[in-house]
A and B are shown apart, each in its own frame.
Chain A
């Protein structure tokens, strides 16, 4: 698989001099399903902001498809979709359909091609039949799926989801998992930033754990041990960690 992102010796210093990311090197290939896990403030979102060119590193370099990120911003906007945590801040249309058309229309997609992009995004995000609904009337889970559909409509080849399960009830979590399965089956590169790893553990091909801005684990999820989770303040998804579990 072709390499999508590569970070080399990435350093991000906050204005007060504290490091948000430190000596971080990471490569992500096309078609991977990666969980980037870590407790709050571990640097997950910050790392992804660097990957999509929304933050600038204090030192180190980031490449997208082999070229420095600064020269690749238009391509990244076309190919990489970023679903932020705050759903309300990323819904721009007055109907579901209008919101889905917002991104592709900004990229110059029009007419039948735009209609098709919207239709496929509705299908992949399991929002069929909701195109005329007003976003304000959607449930939390539906709004989250709408934000995912918003980036799918832009025909993104890579989708980054920042804490996709936050504030969702169990049925909505299951709906998001179904959407993630669809994305994986479609061959898209999926990067899920979360501390709720147990919800996507079985889907991922790779697990990256961040702690205090450094990568402390990077391997297939099945190779992670109980200590790898516990030391980074994460929920251990294994049965042995849940002695109170009812089978």
Chain B
């Protein structure tokens, strides 16, 4: 199994209340938060950040591990703004408070983005993308010419998107396996031995492609094709409430 800290693409929505909410409502909330985070005062910003962080670290299978990446991103954003203040100088101590505020704005967006993908299934996002494309086709081509029977994956961006995101964790898994197999045979990925490192990278690419192909074939055998039925969650009262909050955050 992949190292969860090393693999940021281990999409496994936890069993939280947010995981059962409509993805479009959550996306709207993310946009609302992003808009508010870029405009709000320090107090409001801190409140939004703390709330998001609290929900995030309480999520099953996310927990405290998320704090490390947040801390790293905070230091990076603040220091980069401080080192390069934008007026030609290399470092200006006085810009650090403003840099810190900027970092906090970014972190707030990051926390809610993380919250979105930690509570949303890749297939849900993919299905909504496909639904939007199908609707677009019906509007402009007519109902009968919605999607050809023999339509390929390239005509279904939602499917392409969810497959790519499904393969990413597998690449990390393959990397982990190849790394361990190399280590037990005394081979380490390093700049000192470029040839061996390239050999292992070649294995990684080939191994990932083979695994991705096997998965794609197995998915196709279970009816996952551009003609598949979409599983679209219906809007409930709480989703409408989330939309209202999002609109409030966006406009005020």
Residues of A within 8 A of B (CB): 52, 54, 74, 77-78, 81-82, 84, 86, 89-90, 92, 94, 102-110, 136, 150-151, 154
Contact = CB atoms under 8 A, between A and B. Distances in A.
B165 to A, nearest CB: 12
Contacts of A78: 223
Nearest to A108: B229
B202 interface: no
B27 to A, nearest CB: 21
Contact of B231 (A90, A105, A136): A105
B151 interface: no
Interface string B196-232: 0000000000000001001101111111110111010
Contacts of A54: 217, 220-221
Given A90-B218, A94-B13, A106 B224 contact: yes
Of the four ranges (under 10, 10 to 19, 20 to 34, 35 or more), the interface on chain B belongs to 20 to 34
Given A90-B219, A92-B219, A107-B223, 16 more contacts: A52-B221, A54-B217, A77-B220, A77-B221, A78-B223, A81-B221, A82-B221, A84-B217, A84-B218, A84-B221, A90-B221, A94-B12, A103-B222, A109-B229, A136-B1, A154-B223
B227 A74 contact: yes
A52 B228 CA distance: 18
Contacts of B222: 90, 92, 102-103, 106, 150-151, 154
A105 B222 CA distance: 10
Nearest to A92: B219
B13 to A, nearest CB: 7
Per CB-CB distance, the 7 closest pairs between chain A and chain B, nearest first, are A106-B223, A108-B229, A90-B218, A103-B222, A89-B214, A106-B228, A89-B215
Contacts of A77: 220-221, 223, 225
